[in-house]
Structure 1
């Protein structure tokens, strides 16, 4: 079965060159290996690139429209059992290709444009948790290809222009005729002199050496919205690599790297922190000032008898919830985990006071695992089971 190249790009069969190019660029921005390192995305990017190559080549597209597959290695346009000559325009094309066709009579794709779209660029930026919560605007130093200011992308020295290639006479390809048992077979390949452009630059620009672009470091201002998280990307349209020949620039992606915080840890839009609490404060209850991520202080009431591992939830005191549109959709929560601290050293007076408290509460010999309704603990129950 021939591949559906139109379906791969997501365009209709009658799509024009502009629609095909727009669809390819949209998919390339999502699937390019520099942007999406996933293996499935790499394979999908190869399929999209092949489909773009086929549909922008008039001859290959004609084969596709006739039901064939020009990329099928078995030849014949991958017709899958249909007419083996479906890739040709008619009987005269068949005769020219196999029986007596000349080098000048073969069909070619023509010269390719020297102006090519630029690639996307990726830069990583480390942000603190506070900056992720509040958003930030920062200037970044970016090293990319930019338009050559001396030749404005033409690649030619001042006062000169490209000239037609003498090797291929401006066609961008050279054709050769080989004899076979069927007759003469015409093949075409890109011209080695002009590399398929059909023209050469007699005097290249001294600044860009004929490429139409140069490497340069520049400053780009990027605005990071509030609520971003590790791995999220902000796209700056047209701020990536300028294409060869002064082609349109790709996009610049700024990927967020979130630095660890000394107090708070993040789980989506929720924040977690640990509150060390003396055992006396846990038993008697207290009120403590708690500094939030934004620097404000909130009084936290600790009830008497608070146990180790208790979690207090402060609603709406977490991170902003960032929607796909870039808008804030509420806030997460702050979960405070209480950690009751037991003193490791006591002086004589403190020890005596705790002994008195233990005696008053009947905890001089505590049953660590708890007793049953008859007052028997775990060890006593095990002993009784062996003496029965």
Structure 2
């Protein structure tokens, strides 16, 4: 939409609300109109479809407090109260608007008269344009899109870090013209129509309106001899293999950003980024709690009573873990610094849970020995359920 269309449109009228309506009133008015004008309820009705588009456009502006403020300010500045039209199609700076000698219309467009930067700054926000009207805007080449992909790692690869190859098929800089879009041996030239800015400014009375240059399609340059492989775009689809270094300690679902490895931009513009989502396969032995590794080690009842040292695996070799005499079943023993490497240096801990393994069958000697132990245990006065459930 051009600046002129913004000046002439009355979004409040489209929604049937006053200019001082609250945001809730605007939302309710839009919902009511959108519900009655929706194309699904009016198949084949072109007028209803146009009205639906109009109220949606109005809601997009008035429903956003920041855009609404800019829109209201633009309407206020263009109203007759600020300055009045003269008979010659221009403006009469002294006709009731409060302006005296020395008035410069450029002040309204960012020349220094308005506290907020002038109308040029207001339109800069409404149209997502950068800069005021004080100078020509240079068209920036369009950056390539970001690309997303996934890779699946084993638990230990994710914990320790690994380098993996990724095979991608995506738009990439043309290898023939090196992304310029021009046939080898030639170069793009600056568009003479817009002088490389990519936009054409037109004056209507005292107001200036800008639109993309038709000759260069807003790029600011013209290619007389396009590259035969990419047809002047500077981009071709190709399959490539890149090497990705996955840092130690990456977790399931985490994304890794590779700057400049996404889709190529048109005519040598910067490439987008590549985002790699890491999926981690569960491990049969280890679990993870943040930077800590977890595992469950089976032990016998006698080992818990008398104490022992058990050998347990870590990410890098095995270590011995001391189980103190009288350790309760399910107790967690901590081994410092044997967990997942941290980004800032160091590692988490290894949390070892001891779990009694109950034998399903005993031979006669073991059975007799266990019975003798139970009798000795009772004789010593030990009661495992003493104080339990009111006993």
Going from structure 1 to structure 2, the CA distance change for 1:287 and 1:187 (only over 3 Å counts) comes to closer
Instruction: Tell me the secondary structure at the aligned position of residue 320 of structure 1.
Output: coil
The answer as to 2:329 corresponding to 1:308 is yes
Deviates more, 1:191-200 or 1:267-276: 191-200
Deviations 1:317-372 (A, max 9, x none): 2222221xxxx2x2221111011122344456644443333222228999664249
Give deviations 1:56-99, integer Å, cap 9, x for gaps.
xxxxxxxxxxxxx99922363887999677533679xx9xxxxx
Distance 1:346 1:87, change over 3 A: farther
Task: Measure how far apart 1:315 and its partner are.
Answer: 1.7
Show the counterpart of 1:18.
none
Structure 1 residue 216: deviation in Å? 1.8
Give the corresponding residue for 2:172: 146
TM-score normalized by structure 2? 0.57
Comparing 256-265 with 163-172, which one deviates more in the overlay?
163-172
Equivalent residue number for residue 320 of structure 2: 299
Residue number among 179, 183, 207 corresponding to 2:229 in the alignment: 207
Aligned pair partner of 2:270 in 248, 262, 275: 248
SS of the equivalent of 1:361 reads: helix
Cα 1:237–1:345 shift into 2, 3 Å:
same
Task: Check 1:337–1:231 CA distance in 2 against 1; reply closer, same or farther (3 A cut).
Answer: same
- Aligned position for 1:317: 338
What SS does structure 1 have at the residue aligned with 2:372? helix
Asked if 2 retains the 8 angstrom alpha-carbon contact of 1:211 and 1:244, the reply is yes
Q: What's the offset of the Cα at 1:169?
A: 9.6
Q: Which runs of 5+ in 1 are unaligned?
A: 1-68, 95-106, 380-388
Contact 1:112–1:196 (Cα < 8 Å) also in 2:
no
Q: Give the secondary structure class of the aligned counterpart of 2:218.
A: coil
Q: How does 1:1-388 map to 2 (within 5 A)?
A: 72-74=70-72, 76=74, 86-88=107-109, 113=139, 115-157=141-183, 172-173=198-199, 187-191=209-213, 194-197=216-219, 200-201=222-223, 204-294=226-316, 296-323=317-344, 328=345, 330-346=346-362, 350-362=366-378, 369-371=385-387, 378=390
Alpha-carbon contact 1:76-1:87 (below 8 Å) kept? no
Say how many residue pairs are matched.
284
Check whether the contact 1:358–1:364 (CA below 8 A) recurs between aligned residues: no
CA contact (8 A) 2:293 2:348 kept: yes
Decide whether aligned partners of structure 1 residues 134 and 351 sit closer, same or farther in structure 2, where only a CA change above 3 A counts. Answer: same
> In structure 1, what is the Cα distance between the partners aligned to 2:75 and 2:135?
16
Cα distance between partner residues in 1 of 2:146 and 2:295: 39
- Alpha carbons of 1:255 and 1:303: their partners in 2 closer, same or farther (altered >3 Å)? same
Post-superposition CA distance 1:209-260 (Å, at most 9, x none): 2211112222223333434444555544433332111123344444443332
Give the whole-Å Cα distance in 2 for the aligned partners of 1:113 and 1:184. Answer: 24
**Cα distance change on mapping 1:71 and 1:259 into 2, 3 Å:** farther
Cα contact 2:297–2:312 (8 A) shared by 1: no
Q: State the secondary structure of the residue aligned to 2:271.
A: coil
Q: Normalized against structure 1, the TM-score is what? A: 0.57
Q: Whole-Å Cα distance in 1 between the matches of residues 227 and 77 of structure 2?
A: 47
Shift of 1:273: 0.7
**Residue pair 2:139, 2:198 contacting (<8 A) in 1 also:** no
Give the Cα–Cα distance (whole angstroms) in 1 for the partners of residues 293 and 320 of structure 2: 17
> Structure 2: how far apart are the matches of 1:159 and 1:213?
18
Cα drift, residue 113 of structure 1: 3.8
Return the alpha-carbon distance in structure 2 between the equivalents of residues 150 and 213 of structure 1. Answer: 10
Contact 1:123–1:254 (CA<8 Å) still a contact in 2? Answer: yes
